[in-house]
Amino acid sequence: MGDPTAAPRPQRLFIAIPLPDSVCSELARLAEPLRGVSWVAGRQLHLTLRFLGDVDPARVEGVAEGLGAVRVESFILPVEGVGAFPPKGPPQIIWAGVGSGHPHLFQLRQRVDDAVLAAGVDMDVRFFQPHVTLGRCGKGGTPAASSWLHRHAGFSAAPFRAMEFDLCSSRLSAGGAEHGIMRRYPLA
């Protein structure tokens, strides 16, 4: 049992758009045994709007409340194309894209960022390339991943309507990250 007077530990958080089961099933079918590639489980697939990392527990409620004030209309997203990060060099992350997205997706991302900043949480301000992470490449996974990317370059699935977004927790374990929904926010 831990020290009851110890300060609460930071929570590893991210904000994401959940995917319908039909889209998760289509994306999960892309996973095939590849040396050096670890695939994300179908139930864990999502479109990340903002990864926050470790957030001070004193700021979590402010983030949750701020996200509750975000208003954006629902929108339709395509699910098409695959790629890898980094864009040049050996693949480390394999992803599925959402085409060029939708203007409301970028509006949602901006309003999420505004809410997070207003709650006093620092963020990495990298360029936003919307995607669904499908897998991670370890050392030795590069040739297999490169071949997979080439074979699935023309991938597409049925578009879906984004109806909500989630504040999620992420706990790292030996089997990979385990995600949990802390709060769900409907889109207008």
Q: Which residue has the tokens 């927790």?
A: 169
Spatial distance between the Cα atoms of 136 and 95, rounded to a whole number of angstroms: 9
Q: Maximum distance among all alpha carbons in the chain?
A: 55
Instruction: Label residue 121 left, alpha or beta by phi (over 0 means left) and psi (-120 to 50 means alpha).
Output: beta
Cα separation values, 89 from 36, 93, 110, 122, 143, Å: 16, 11, 29, 29, 12
Kindly list the catalytic residues.
46, 131
Query: If you write DSSP's letter for every residue of 6-54 in order, what string do you get?
Result: SPPPPEEEEEEEE--HHHHHHHHTT----TTEEEPPGGG-EEEEEEEEE
Residue 36: count other Cβ atoms within 10 Å of its Cβ: 16
